[in-house]
Amino acid sequence: MKKILLQGAEIRKLLDAPATKFPTYVAPLLNLANRFAGGTRPRIVGQMSDLFGEFKGKNLQEWIEWYQQKYPDSINKAAELIRQKVDEFRCILGELDDNTIERWVEDLVLVKTYIGLRFQEAILKKLAEETGQEYMFASPEQEARGIDGVIGSCEVSIKPISWREQQVHRENLEGVIVYYRKTPNGIEIEYDPRAFGSG
């Protein structure tokens, strides 16, 4: 079996799509501004996968003309939303001083790293609080069996939600399985309260 990798520049060339050059940092900054502004969300520019399914043309120029007929103001609307966010960035950048940068680095390297590596403890504490029971960390022997902690008298294994969706598991876990999903604002936890005698 042979594998071929197409690089971005080659894809553009194969599709006769011209490369657009931007100064260093411009594209990532505009991507970030757009993420906050939502300038290219479907409500502004349309649902692209659906639109492309409707498009019957054969080349980039035909796509541009077809799209601009269907959404004549979308590029300007998106650009304006992003422009407003960039203006906000300019104000904030002017206020960034050495102290703020150092505090941000400390928060990232020390605090967020600690939280990221200890999130299982937060899950155990929250479940103990929810079920009205005590929690403790797994012993080395329990860890060897895939157990992450104990709530009341129940051994608990904490797994990402994606683990549940896998067809084959390399480990057969004992005890109660608690699932989590990291979200932009924290951790979403799924569990069966009946497993802890509180449902």
In this predicted structure, what is the pLDDT of residue 169?
Answer: 53
In this predicted structure, what is the pLDDT of residue 198?
Answer: 61
In this predicted structure, what is the pLDDT of residue 117?
Answer: 63
Domain locations in the chain?
Answer: 8-95, 118-196
pLDDT tens digits along 108-165: 888 877 776 678 888 899 899 989 999 998 898 988 888 999 999 999 998 888 887 7
In this predicted structure, what is the pLDDT of residue 195?
Answer: 86
Q: 158 and 120 in contact (C-beta within 8 Å)?
A: yes
Residues of the chain with confidence (pLDDT) below 50: none
In this predicted structure, what is the pLDDT of residue 25?
Answer: 92
Q: Confirm whether pTM is higher than 0.85.
A: no
Quick one: which of 27, 75, 34, 68 has its CA closest to 51?
68
